[in-house]
Amino acid sequence: KAGVTQTPRYLIKTRGQQVTLSCSPISGHRSVSWYQQTPGQGLQFLFEYFSETQRNKGNFPGRFSGRQFSNSRSEMNVSTLELGDSALYLCASSAQVSGYYNEQFFGPGTRLTVL
């Protein structure tokens, strides 16, 4: 099985712009979670999507949003970029059998640099 893929791998944007990141989960996985990784804050949960519905959300401002499509692919969007949004954005997928937790498999991440 192919692993979790994320595109693009690297992005450079300027303050005030918006950006969309894409994640393709492992085939058959219905849950996609997003995380932000920075040297200062570590790995922080952004949100999770399951069957096209946002099921959980972390403590990030409304500028961070996401969605999931019927094929389980997910996108996250950050509007009005700030310098502090520079980070590695990780996507993880899980089979998420109902009522039971399955481990998350991570993609390589998208490195976003905001200038």
What is the nearest approach in angstroms of another protein to the Cβ of residue 114?
22
Q: In this structure, is the dihedral angle defined by the CA atoms of residues 22, 87, 18 and 80, taken in order, positive or negative? A: positive
Alpha carbon separation from 47 to 2, 13, 62, 74, 87 (Å, rounded):
23, 22, 12, 11, 16
Is there binding between residue 12 and another protein (CB under 8 A)? no
Among 68, 87, 109, 114, binds another protein (CB under 8 A): 109
| Of positions 75, 79, 106, 111, contacts another protein by CB under 8 A | 106
Q: Which two tokens stand for residue 75?
A: 């996108």
Helix (H) or strand (E) holding 33: strand 31-38
Site for another protein in 65-104 (CB under 8 A): 90, 92, 94, 96, 99-101, 103-104
Residues that bind another protein (CB under 8 A): 31, 33, 35, 42-45, 48-50, 55-56, 58, 90, 92, 94, 96, 99-101, 103-109
